[in-house]
Structure 1
């Protein structure tokens, strides 16, 4: 009984750390979104605080956290994965304030009626543009890994969720890779190995993860500052590099923000991974205190712990 209680406590610590870590990274990075690497680095070096800016209140999170919470709450209520319920929550959010919503996600959701319609709209956009491998899926996928211990089921659900908004297979693979990395943290396996196994056949993802594995920080900095800044492979690789090289939650999240570019999403993914590894207690209190809807995130985390299969 004691062992089971200890295991449950550890699971909650990591689950809460993952969701809180995601939201804090998101809110901390939001005011610097689209900043140059120099601007972001100078801000970080001078002591980045959860003070808001650029239209964001202190502690206010973006679409990254909004969608992750919607997914977590759906899983907590209905299990993994009720795509009709997930889509309904996404669609309701997209037609509300949806502050920070990405163009690909907006195209799939705002006029959609249900999961099948959203997926159809996502496919239509991909056929039209060929450019739907953004990081709007990997940013929200973590709750899937937190609720499921089966790698096969997690991969299926991650790709299924991604397809509701992003039809490029790379976007689904990136979501599956993030989930595999999170599951690896839970069981003590290598997160980069687990992630790499999910991206076979996707050269951009494979190349970006190789840069993370080889500690090729200049290559990742170039991705963050270039035209592929908001792609799923850039954000995933930055998150995994932060996980592998940082000695603390704060160190890794600040490094991700200091690259500039899509600072909120990069910090959200890095924060999810680092929070999962180090637990909620690793998140600095001065960043956590102003976080919006913290109790809601905590309830979502407990719901995922209760649902874990």
Structure 2
């Protein structure tokens, strides 16, 4: 695929990721029945979060994209955690596993987490999928960067599955096609049971009545479920984001990851009514990161 096409799709993925994040922020922690679906597009204020605000999801995804732009498809745990520790004070909503990793790194230079099964590694994995086409290298980079903050195998597996879906989408394939292969690999590699993800891929998954939780496998199962629902019903990207938010729970993360995956299949920026009200970086930053990730993908294919 031409680099210009890759750049356009990555740019669309980054924007759609942020749009999903902003759409989900006002409803995070709500049960499904508490989400006022007609109001999702309005990006209502949540507490001291201004309308259109994005969360740690977008901040950490951009941080990974910047790391890949600067370092390429390599794992330098110290460099990554240095960047993360520097950025952390300004990141709103940073998760417990990620904050604990930052605290350990600042205190003693620890670069690998021994625990952490939440979804922070998965939420920031899409840039790796966009930047690295080779499956073995993609898994190496995803695993290495995930380990810095999340030591539990399910969290790392979830990140690998998210990255694989993003990579497949960028190639124009169905993101769902990547799920069985990556799930099989992760179960063998980490010796874990990924039944929730398999069920989601088969269309046999429903969120908890309280919504999607922070547990990494819950998140990636929800993402697979959203992508499957959007594919089967031929939803627009905007409608897929609305559906993700309507599940309740960790609405911003599920909508962001699903949106980034689906947006990466688009030849241009998808029509999302609230996109112009999302708190985004300057266009030059998005363009620069998109071009850098596209060039990296071309060089590692």
Whether these two folds match at TM > 0.5 is yes
Residue aligning to 1:89:
83
2:135 aligned residue: 151
SS state at 1:301 partner: helix
Contact 2:69/2:292 (8 A) holds in 1: yes
Offset of residue 263 of structure 1: 0.6
Change (3 A) 1:279 1:113: farther
Q: Could you list the per-position Cα deviations for residues 205-254 of structure 1 after superposition, in whole angstroms to 9, with x for gaps in the alignment? A: 622222322223xx3222x726x711111211222222222121111111
Which residue number corresponds to residue 9 of structure 1?
A: 4
CA RMSD of aligned residues (A): 2.4
Which whole-Å CA distance do the structure 2 matches of 1:65 and 1:193 have between them?
Answer: 25
User: Helix, strand or coil for the counterpart of 2:242?
Assistant: helix
Secondary structure class of the residue paired with 1:278:
coil
The 3 A distance-change label for structure 1 pair 9 and 169 is same
Per-residue Cα deviation, 1:249-298 (whole angstroms, up to 9, x for no partner): 11111111001100111111111111112354214153234333242333
What residue is the counterpart of 1:99 in the other structure? 92
Q: 1:23-42 to 2 correspondence within 5 Å?
A: 23-40=18-35
Structure 2 CA distance for partners of 1:39 and 1:269, relative to 1, 3 Å: same
Question: Matches of 1:277 and 1:233 in 2, distance apart?
Answer: 24
1:211 is the counterpart of 2:199: yes
From 30, 55, 67, the equivalent of 1:62 is 55
Structure 1: distance between partners of 2:60 and 2:98:
10
Residue in 2 that maps onto 1:254:
242
Give 1:65-80 correspondences, 5 Å limit.
Answer: 65-80=58-73
Q: Does 1:265 align with 2:250?
A: no
Which residue matches 1:278? 266
Between the aligned partners of 1:235 and 1:268, the Cα distance in structure 2 is 11
Distance 2:107 2:69 in 1: 20
Specify the SS of the correspondent of 2:269. helix
Show the counterpart of 2:13.
18
Distance 1:47 1:82, change over 3 A: closer
> Does 55-64 or 158-167 show the bigger shift?
55-64
Q: Residues 29, 47 of structure 1: CA spacing in aligned structure 2 closer, same or farther, 3 A cutoff?
A: closer
- How far apart, CA to CA, are the structure 2 residues paired with 1:136 and 1:70? 13
Deviation by residue 1:94-126 (Cα, 9 ceiling, x = unmatched)? 2x232101111111113414996131xx21xx2
Report Cα offsets for 1:116-163 as digits up to 9, x if no partner: 6131xx21xx2xxxxx21111100011111111111100111111110
Deviates more, 1:78-87 or 1:109-118: 109-118
Alignment correspondent of 1:129: none
CA pair 242-115 structure 1, distance change in 2 beyond 3 A: farther
Q: Structure 2: where are the runs of 5+ without partners?
A: none
| Conserved 8 A contact 1:14-1:275 | yes
Hey, what's the Cα distance between the residues in 1 that align with 2:237 and 2:6?
18
5+ residue gaps, structure 1, are: 127-131
Q: Deviations over 1:81-101 (max 9, x none)?
A: 24232221111112x232101
Q: 1:74 to 1:115 in 2, by over 3 A?
A: farther
Structure 2 CA distance for partners of 1:283 and 1:230, relative to 1, 3 Å: farther
CA distance in structure 1 between the partners assigned to 2:191 and 2:102 by the alignment: 28
Structure 1 residues 137, 47: closer, same or farther in 2, change over 3 A? closer
2:126 matched to which residue of 1?
A: 142
| 1:225 maps onto 2:210 in alignment | yes
